[in-house]
Amino acid sequence: MKKKFCPQCGREETDDNPLMDELCKKCSNIRLLEGYKDPKIRICSNCGSYFFRNKLLHPIDMDFEENVKKIVKEMFESKLKFYQKAEDIKSTVKINLPKIFHHSPGNTPIIDIELSVTAIINSKRVRENHAIPLKISFISCKRCNMQNSKYYEAILQIRPYSEKIVNYIKYVVSQRKDVFITQEEELKEGVNFYITSKSFAMILLSDLKNKFDGETKITRELYSQKKDGTAIYRSTILFRLSKPL
Ligand SMILES: [Zn+2]
Ligand SMILES: [Zn+2]
């Protein structure tokens, strides 16, 4: 094949620097990757949830490091902007976490991203490699904050103690990402669960009524007042088994 040279810089055409129209890629100012917006990546250091368009989303992977990698990849790729006339764009993104990887709220580690893109521009296959450092932020999400607090809206009392019911309640709550048991009290006469959502505690109560034979009693006490004077109540919900299980 006849060697071709760039008329501007005199470089010989190579795979890495093909001639585009007249000039070589380096001289032509054509960049396959035109830019990217730094995605603002915030990941909960405790549960791995992350913010996407200001919404808190569930983790993608059970493994914390895999989860971080997948989130970074997904969010970074969505911010890439390629040359308009490029066709058949193929990109691969490799995420390199720092060797020492502290994840606690407030930490902002730098993640190294290796991006390689290939595409066809002016019927030439073009390839670019980029190394991009990306800062992410570890935070503590509001769900975890709530779980770590002693916050509750309802106390669910089970009388007498029943392992079957305790396991059932724990299982049902674990399926919910927005509801927590912030405290569990074992007493002689039974067990109390402090639950962060009153409406969920009521759903749980009707579940128990359907599944197990027992009586219920709901009492509420004034807890505090909102600024506009509306009263805030905390409920105590009792479920008493007709006979021990
Ligand atoms: Zn050139
Ligand atoms: Zn969290």
pLDDT per position as a tens digit, 62-81: 999 999 999 999 999 999 99
10 confidence band (pLDDT: 50, 70, 90)? very high
Mean pLDDT, residues 106-127: 93
Dist. CA 15 → ligand 1 center (Å): 13
Q: Residues with beta carbon < 5 A to ion ligand 2? A: 44, 46-47, 49, 141, 144
- Which pLDDT band, with edges at 50, 70 and 90, does 138 fall under? very high
Q: Supply the mean pLDDT for the chain.
A: 91
pLDDT in tens, 88-110: 999 999 999 998 888 889 999 99
Asked whether the beta carbons of 18 and 27 are under 8 A apart, the reply is no
Residues 149-164 pLDDT 10s: 888 999 999 999 999 9
How many Å lie between the centroid of ligand 2 and the Cα of residue 77?
A: 24
Asked if the model's pLDDT at residue 21 lies above 80, the reply is no
Neighbours of ion ligand 1 (CB under 5 A): 6, 8-9, 24, 27
19 Cα–ligand 1 center, Å: 8
Q: What does the alpha-carbon distance between residue 23 and residue 109 come to, in Å, rounded to a whole number?
A: 40
Report the separation in Å between the CA atom of 10 and the middle of ligand 1, taken as the mean of its atom positions. Answer: 6
Instruction: With beta carbons less than 8 A apart as the criterion, state whether 62 and 49 touch.
Output: no
